[in-house]
Amino acid sequence: MPEDTNTNMKSLDALAIGDVMIDAFIRLFDEKAQAVTNDRGKWLAIPFGQKVPFDFVKVINGVGNASNAAVNIAKFGGLSSGLVANVGGDQYGRDILSSLEKNKVDCRFVHINPDKISNYHYVLWYKDERTILIKHEAYNYQWPNFRTNDLPKWVYFTSIAQNTQEYHDHIGDWLEQNPQIKMAFQPGTFQLELGVEKLSKIYKHTEILVLNREEAVELTKGNYDDLHSLLNTIHSFGPKTVVITDGPAGAYASDGTKRIKIPIYPDPKPPYERTGAGDAFASTLVAAIIKGYNLEAALQLAPINSMNVVQYVGAQEGLLSEVELTELLKKAPPEYKIENF
């Protein structure tokens, strides 16, 4: 059920919804691990039953798809952002809130669960890739009650724990009751597993949907090689603008009338650590559109933030402001341009 609050929240430009956590990055020595491929896919292998030295650990507070988006939107410039999430009543929860507030994210709708612990994940960082050990705590998810003048202009809904179907239903009902609120949706694993039918209200109210090509295939059960068919099917679910990222191939976007693509922004050097590239892309695109950019202009900025994030550890340190993104766009090579497809 919705959480009853007496908070008089100033209307925000964007309110992100999802889980928040701490990530502990454990940097593995290249010679102490290896990536192996077998009939079950690609695996990270380390010596079994031994003490394995590692290089260092870096702990990053207040991360996760939703919090990464909230931090990025606040950093973009001229926009206010908040977060609806859960933390435990422990020191980790206090550290998460402190980090978010430092990054100018409004935390008044982050619910503190006194008898539970906060999400804490371990990231095994090997070369420029990461394998994340995750455990989402079983919180009592409650949707806040908003006063009429407190309603955000946008919501940014993304990855959340399993067994939250009822919570999704509450959000869907709330969106139907407040059709003036626009929503960006970056579905996580559980949300993709739920499928379109169970989240029909969410998809019908989605202004911007961002997902990668593999996720688009999973969502539609469509043909990987037929981008137009994937886009047509996703539009039929309700989203007005659909953006499909495709790794080194760049990204594709459709607003129902035109279809455009953008290559990746060239890396100045090899990626240091890849966490958060997708979040940076999606939330930069949304931040730019909230700020008033059209789809073409927003799509030019998004890959630049992805490029810069992978030069740092974690999903937030490398995020750039609107001014910084614009400066790098001016320095882009001639082949970095919007094209129709």
Report the C-alpha gap between 205 and 226 in whole angstroms: 25
Boundaries of domain holding 156: 14-20+64-119+138-340
What's the pLDDT score for residue 51? 97
Give the tens place of pLDDT for each residue, 289-324. Answer: 999 999 999 999 999 999 999 999 999 999 999 999
Residue 31: inside a domain, yes or no? no
Residue 222: inside a domain, yes or no? yes
Q: What is the mean pLDDT of residues 147-176?
A: 93
Report the C-alpha gap between 125 and 44 in whole angstroms: 10
User: Which CATH number covers residue 311?
Assistant: 3.40.1190.20
Percentage of the residues of the chain whose pLDDT score is greater than 70:
97
Q: What is the mean pLDDT of residues 62-75?
A: 98
What's the pLDDT score for residue 70? 98
Report the C-alpha gap between 114 and 63 in whole angstroms: 20
Residue 47: inside a domain, yes or no? no
**CA proximity to 287, closest of 276, 300, 302:** 302
Lowest mean pLDDT: which of 109-113, 273-277, 308-312, 328-332? 273-277
What's the pLDDT score for residue 150? 84
pLDDT at 9 > cutoff 90: no
pLDDT at 148 > cutoff 90: no
Residue 210: inside a domain, yes or no? yes
* Total of domains in the chain: 1
Residue 35: inside a domain, yes or no? no
pLDDT at 48 > cutoff 60: yes
Give the tens place of pLDDT for each residue, 190-219. Answer: 999 999 999 999 999 999 999 999 999 999
What's the pLDDT score for residue 149? 80
What's the pLDDT score for residue 6? 41
Residue 1: inside a domain, yes or no? no
Residue 44: inside a domain, yes or no? no
pLDDT at 186 > cutoff 90: yes
Residue 37: inside a domain, yes or no? no
pTM score, whole prediction: 0.93
Give the tens place of pLDDT for each residue, 107-143. Answer: 999 999 999 999 999 999 999 899 999 999 999 998 9
Buried b / exposed e across 60-69, counting CB within 10 Å, b at 16+?
bbbbbbbbbb
What's the mean pLDDT when you consider all of the chain?
94
Interaxial angle between packed helices 277-291 and 295-309, expressed in degrees from 0 to 180 and rounded to the nearest 10: 150
pLDDT at 42 > cutoff 80: yes
